[in-house]
Amino acid sequence: MLLESETNNSSPHGGEAAGASTAQAASMLKVDAPKVEDGLKDVPKHVDVPKHVDEPKHVDEPKHVDEPNTASQAAAPAHADPLDPLSVPPSEAHPEGLWPVFRNRNFLTLWSGQVFSQIADKIYLVLMIAIISTHFKSPEQTISGWVSAIMIAFTIPAVLFGSLAGVYVDRWRKKPVLVLTNLFRGLLVAILPAVLWLTQGWTFIGLPVGFYILLAVTFLVSTLTQFFAPAEQAVIPLIVKKRNLLPANSLYTTTMMASVIVGFAVGEPVLALADRLLAPIDGGSGLGKSVLVGVSYAIAGILLLLMTPYEVKTENPETPHPWEDIKDGIAYLQNRYKFAAP
């Protein structure tokens, strides 16, 4: 009982003391809490630390890097040369097909002259067959022997003068060669009917003189062609920019191949049509065929006369003899292409 009374007597004072101490601690916590909170603000809540970093084991360095040649760029011309493809803007550095070629007035003129000239070449052979058939071949003869002689006369100049003509054409202006070769061929074909009429009935060593004249005219026409062909090829770089040379040469080659097909295919009907058109004038003597071929050559010459190639004739007193150029060409072929003996 005494213990209980003591306990009861002491419990109010003890509770007051405990409450006072609790209140004092709370006040202290309230005072220090802002300081703690301010300290925590300076500490980052979370820091991401990479777990592992893979270091490269080996780095391949470029062995060599080609640096642009600044000297050549600095030496580039300030203004574009219309005939120099290296001076054109980059946007025009690639060919655009045949359209730029057809827009080139000089090349269009050259190509038109080529069409008339090469078709006239092929129709000329058809003309020779027609003249032999109507003037010299007898009904019991075959025409193959006559035609073979004409083809031989047409081929020999290519063997004799093919290389030599190219050497001389390189030394001459191209435009006069193109014009004169066509005009002379047209003149030879145009006067052929008159010469055949004058020599009608003449013979020599068992053959008509007119046939010898056909052989001579064919030889001369083919000889002039040997000068015309290299001049035509050589003038293309003088009127076409380098970036357009591929389509220009392709069109030239295509026209040359097409003229073989077209010339032999339409030669006979075209010559027959020319005879019918001129029949009221010449009395049906067949003059129209020769006139057609001669006029075709003349048109080619007149068209090429309108062309203005960019060529400058320079006089070089040390120009070697043409035979020296031929020897150099043969030596070049021998060194470049080694032909092994079988």
Provide the residue ranges of all domains of the chain, joining segments of one domain with +: 118-135+142-306
Mean pLDDT for the chain?
75
Q: Would you state the pLDDT for residue 320?
A: 62
Instruction: Reply yes or no on whether the pLDDT at 307 is more than 80.
Output: yes
Residue that the structure tokens 């073979």 belong to:
148
CATH (residue range 118-135+142-306): 1.20.1250
Q: Would you state the pLDDT for residue 277?
A: 87
Instruction: Reply yes or no on whether the pLDDT at 224 is more than 90.
Output: yes
Across the range 98-117, mean pLDDT stands at 91
pLDDT single digits (tens) 266-290: 888 999 898 888 888 877 777 888 9
Going by pLDDT thresholds of 50, 70 and 90, the confidence category of residue 314 is low
- pTM (two decimals): 0.67
